[in-house]
Structure 1
């Protein structure tokens, strides 16, 4: 169906309105013979109709349209940014793994399509196939696309077919599909192509980029670039899980862990606001949020009510509010959030979510799913009821905070009381006398500390067990989607900064470094998506462009460089700034354009001195936590800071509050 209204104003000031009515015509004999978002597009240039879009074209053979009389759904303006071509990507090489089969390497996994120049006789068919990686023999790897075969009618072909007219050099470019790829296989040519005959066209939701990051470690720089590319690749009106296979759904558990990092990279206000409408539209009658949105299934029956995934309906509005200070996002979603929490309550006797949890994915793709020799077995998975109850606690806490912002004091107290009851029940049920969290996993300790589900006096004991759990894995990470950034954060906050850096900078499997050392230009879905000597993981679920493990970027922003919004004064009215040098890094800096202006954190180490440049935008204030021991001197612009200028001090930190302006601190 198609509906449009064109308003034309001529040079003499006259206005003409053109609407879609029964005078419009259509034809199915044009050059675009087939198009599909997943499978690709077929263009037959023999069917080109020169001048079809100009006045005077003979359309006598075209058919009259059928007029649709029904009013249909509400017609509203698009809230989020449009999908646009944002960049052209030139290939870096061509190979020929077998005669007549040419592989273009564009050097980067991205989303979109290719524009190609070809010559050939009339009726020649040129086929472009797209994939993320190559097989060992240099051929295109497509098994992870789950292509239709053996009677299976689902999958993503990612193929574009161009049929030549024979009229010299021809240029083809699809318009009604998109692919996730780095490599393009071209067949059907009568001669070897040139490098410049093909160019990639990067296409995604065009949200403004708002930050830049760099540091002294090129691996960390590459990691942050990979995270950024993965985010853009998965922004196509909704936050997709992956851009290549036959899924491309707005999986909510993935977005929950990545939402803050997404806001650090780009302005996500309008994008997430639109997606939250999709989430509310898909909410089940009993309050269950869907597992992904938009939801093509009936949420009353399947794919709904899962811990962490459903909780994105609570977390994402809060993240948007904290970053952009627009409480309308809370007003629009609060009723749906209350319905969700009411549903969880029906499944949580004694305030523990032990009842129905839908498909219950748990801490998705954690270390127990890694396949490698010598790797501990079945010691990474946090019991699902533990994770579920922790998210129930956090969602109730956020609901209380939202109610306070909205002036709903009775609801704020209700959810605050609920949060305390869940917190107490969690501690009694899942933390034993030795202060071990049920399951004794990295994930369990990180989750319990991150959501503050234990008394203050027990935090040190849990942190000790958390470090021991890391040591049991020989200082490798074993967490999944939901808890990886939590582990990094709690290691840092508990004083184990170098342990966190060790996990970040590790190059052995499983690690971010292993991905990059094996050619990753975006984030892998699995820690072991590819293993040297073993090959690829299960092709049924093995994306090489999946942002969830990229949530570590949030830790890099907040803990390495030291910039975080303050939920109590949203929109960066007040900024928390607390860098943690370590890991051999000698400098790190970030510039972040917030709704109030640009925030800068820029630190470096010169000899024994720590130098930190800070910019706080007009109308904002910041609390700075400066790394300095009791024996070190702290100066700002050459002047020593005295006790009257600080608001706190610890064994290794000096804390002060500053207003807008530029500052340079020196510690030595």
Structure 2
């Protein structure tokens, strides 16, 4: 039976507040038969859930497209909800019934003139009182309500309340954007929160990223000096009339119990000042001021919101050698602690947050630099009180308790994990517990650093959207979670912050007011960092088939390439300006953060790579002239690279692992130099005692290149190293997230410099791509992106006896697993989603020994083609689940046995 399910609009389930003219729909097919391919679909839109009134009907449309489907010749209306349902036909003739009904709802759909409300602010804002202001408006309802929506944004962060109930489950709204050019708004359905008679609408404002501390120079008010609220409540009555409650001079404002709240510094709360929304205990409500501020930059919510994702209970209450009482959450996490306490009015308690204990077991906060991460709470006294922060978050595993009573209980505390609410899509597990923990650490690194923007770290006075870190991790991130909306929003900020000359700042959103020397001066761009403008949109295109985002970012990609092209005297080399190089490479000189790989070499290699991807984008988008230009430009860059960095005999002149990896990964060599570089890379790894020496630039590509160039088992050797430097060294040291430095905690227990030593820094977690793409073998196809063609090419290696992985793609679940059995038998299980095709590579197989669920391949009708490729068998097949069992070639088995023994 054929069914249509998992309906999505712009990646989201029943979104409200869309502003695009043509929302796209996606769905998944399920069938109890293999080889299911859609032949046609029909979409219906209605203004009613019962579909009594059809707004638009596609009719039966002959097409196999089931993701990112645009609605032809139809335009939506603002503030209107559209219900939709879909049915499909498949090639074999099956017809589905109608899907369950889903909906999407449009937002205000206009620039600044769509807003009728005023920006309002507190008259005391900017004075020495740093408390978070709270605003309120009273209004009466005396008619029956059909629907009510709040459209809201802020300069700073907001938290809404309606009739003493918090509105929505979102946090850190409206999010962090390039505030001078883009500011998101959110929409909330509050129909069920309204009541007959008097209603009270209220809001807290926090400084957030807009005017709180940002960067390492203790700067504040980088984006603006005044926090302000912009809000419209649109009420529709059953009689057809409407009423709008707007932020305007009718509102009142007062100070609040939130005495201070800052992203870096934490929050101070005085519960004695709590009151309901109709009065303030310490002063009367004051009239608000109206702020003259543009509304033209306001855009609808693009990313998924930050929400409370999960809750952790502390695993222990410790007493350190210095006598501190410390909670151990058991996991380095990002969010905050919710706690309950009972005591005398006026008593203040503190929670301090840290990632690790030092080698003596004491609470360690030096690596936080200027970020205090401190929560202070003053009790109102009497009954049990429960508190959690509003406008701050911490990165921590350990929590020092100050001022708490002696009889503290673990169940009085809960760790609240917050991050952007991305759908979990990938899972990986294997026969190695250490590798499983590494995968866990990579996942938690993403959880901790994907809080509205892809930050470098979540704990110290930084937490910035470093472009280099993002592009290094984007593919791994997209295996683990659905990152398409997340990167869509961030890439729009990247384009907004792109310089007139095409340069890209080091971090996005950029801190334009930071004019100090060094990293604060972002008037220059760095290779491998600025290349995020090209690498990220191309990766999202490959992983999700999102042609619209690629087209949207194409101009930014071109401008970045033009920026590089204009640097220096030679348009085909990038040998000028500041570059981070192979950041934190282990082959660096003493007292240097930059690895030994020549920075001009790194810059020119990434120049070639970005041009190659821009060329591909031009081909996808049908820009033939551009494609020809970038193809020729790429040839010239490769020729210049070879002249500059490769000797006539084919030897790379830069003798580092990273240099060899980049040349191979970016295909910058002729065949003679390529073969020599492959051999030399193996020697360089061997000379390092079969360890890596790469930094941020080389590490993401190291294992993929080894696997692609005949050194696959050496890649496994690197994976399984447990001493420094290695991925599993961190695991053996008790890490629960990925570290910034390979030796953040040294083997003797001492610590790397506190100046820059994050224990939640996802860049080196890019090894996750290799686990999914090579070890489990799940890969997409750039010519049929979004996993329309699913490649499953598992690569077993020494040290693992089995692997299981799955990935929820736009088309449905992909699964790949392999198991070594006795007598040289290999089992490979795969799942290919409906409406896609799979290509399966069975490693070390002889075609005559391969059985699928007990049948020879030539007796399985759903298999389209079988080919022998060296010592492997390649199979092309339709959707469905398959089990292949075969005898591994004796030669392959002998090599594997020798390599296991050597490891």
* TM-score, with structure 2 as normaliser: 0.69
Which sits farther off after the overlay, 362-371 or 220-229?
A: 362-371
1:46/1:163 contact within 8 Å kept:
yes
Gaps of 5+ in 2: 1-227, 516-520, 888-903
Higher Rg? 2
Quick check: 1:535 aligned with 2:759? no
- Which runs of no fewer than 5 residues in structure 1 stay unpaired? 147-154
The reply on whether 1:22 has 2:245 as its aligned counterpart is no
Which residue, 603, 612, 618 being the options, matches 2:828? Answer: 612
Structure with a larger share of its residues in helix = 1
Which residue is 1:80 aligned to?
303
Distance 2:805 2:404 in 1: 47
Residue 554 (structure 2) pairs with residue 334 (structure 1):
yes
Residue number in structure 1 paired with 2:525: 305
Determine if the alignment matches structure 1 residue 494 to structure 2 residue 721: no
Let me know the Cα RMSD of the aligned residues: 2.4
1:42 and 2:261 correspond: no
3-state DSSP of counterpart to 1:114:
strand
Name the SS for the 1:435 alignment partner. coil
Q: Note the C-alpha offset of 1:136.
A: 2.5
> Are residue 524 (structure 1) and residue 739 (structure 2) matched?
yes
Is contact 1:288–1:299 with CA below 8 Å preserved after alignment?
Answer: no
The equivalent of 2:333 in structure 1 is 110
State the distance in 2 between where 1:167 and 1:667 align: 71
Within the candidate set 851, 873, 876, 1:657 is matched to 876
Q: Secondary structure at the match of 1:253?
A: helix
Change (3 A) 1:437 1:351: farther
CA contact (8 A) 1:477 1:510 kept: yes
How far residue 48 of structure 1 moved from its aligned partner, in angstroms, is 1.2
Does structure 1 retain, via aligned residues, the 8 Å contact 2:313–2:415?
yes
Q: Is contact 2:582-2:595 (8 Å) kept?
A: no
Alpha carbons 2:864, 2:878 under 8 Å: kept: no
Per-residue CA deviation, residues 609-647 of structure 1 (Å, 9 max, x unaligned), is 111011111111122221025597222232334699655
CA apart distance, 1:414: 0.3
CA offset at residue 479 of structure 1? 0.8
Partner of 1:365: 584
Q: Out of 165, 173, 177, which is 2:380 matched to? A: 165
1:439-450 counterparts in 2 under 5 A?
439-450=654-665
The match for 2:116 is: none
Greater displacement, 163-172 / 316-325: 163-172
* Alignment partner, residue 316 of structure 2: 93
* Structure 1 residues 534-613: aligned runs within 5 Å: 534-607=749-822, 608-613=824-829
- 1:346 matched to 2:566: yes
Query: SS of the counterpart of 2:755?
Result: helix
Tell me, yes or no, if the aligned pair for 1:282 and 1:299 is still in contact at 8 Å: no
Match of 1:127 among 346, 350, 357: 350
Looking at structure 2, the residues matched to 466 and 98 of structure 1 have their Cα atoms a distance apart, in angstroms, of 47
Partner residue, 2:849: 633
CA deviation vs aligned residue, 1:144-188 (integer Å, no higher than 9, x gap): 100xxxxxxxx2110000011222322121111000111100111
Q: Work out whether 1:210 is the aligned partner of 2:430.
A: no
CA deviations over 1:401-457 (Å, ceiling 9, x no partner) = 111111110001100111111112212221224433222111111111111111234
Deviation by residue 1:292-335 (Cα, 9 ceiling, x = unmatched): 10001269962541101000000100011111112111221111
Q: Against the structure 1 CA distance between its residues 378 and 108, is the aligned structure 2 distance closer, same or farther, given a 3 Å change threshold?
A: closer
SS, match of residue 535 in structure 1: coil
Counterpart of 2:718 in structure 1 is 503
Structure 2: how far apart are the matches of 1:441 and 1:534? 29
* Corresponding position: 1:398 with 2:613: yes
SS in 1 for 2:675: helix
CA distance in 2: counterparts of 1:57 and 1:235, whole angstroms: 37
Shift of residue 357 of structure 1? 3.1
Q: Are 1:475 and 2:694 an aligned pair?
A: no
Answer yes or no: is the 8 Å Cα contact 1:105–1:182 preserved in 2. Answer: yes
Picking from 178, 193, 199, the partner of 2:393 is 178
Q: How many residues align?
A: 651
Deviation (angstroms), 1:59: 10
Native 8 Å contact 2:445 2:761 kept in 1? yes
- Return the alpha-carbon distance in structure 1 between the equivalents of residues 821 and 568 of structure 2: 55
Q: Which residue of 1 aligns with 2:360?
A: 137
Looking at structure 1, the residues matched to 443 and 619 of structure 2 have their Cα atoms a distance apart, in angstroms, of: 34
Q: 2:637 aligns with which of 399, 418, 422?
A: 422
**SS of structure 2 residue aligned to 1:212:** strand
1:464–1:137 Cα change, 3 Å:
same
Q: Residues 103-140 of structure 1: CA distance to partner in whole angstroms, max 9, x if unpaired?
A: 00000011111111122222211010001001233221
> Does the CA contact (< 8 Å) of 1:577 and 1:622 recur in 2?
yes
1:66 aligns with 2:289: yes
Gap change, CA 1:336 and 1:645, over 3 Å in 2 = closer
Shift of 1:194: 1.0
Change (3 A) 1:440 1:379: farther
| In structure 1, C-alpha distance between the alignment counterparts of 2:593 and 2:367, rounded to whole Å | 26
> In the alignment, is the contact (CA less than 8 A) between 2:321 and 2:361 conserved in 1?
no
Matched, 1:31 2:250: no
- Tell me the secondary structure at the aligned position of residue 4 of structure 1: strand
Quote how far apart the aligned CAs of 1:466 are: 0.3
TM-aligned CA deviation for residue 71 of structure 1: 2.9
The answer as to whether partners of 1:275 and 1:293 remain within 8 angstroms in 2 is: yes
Give how far 1:11 is off.
6.9
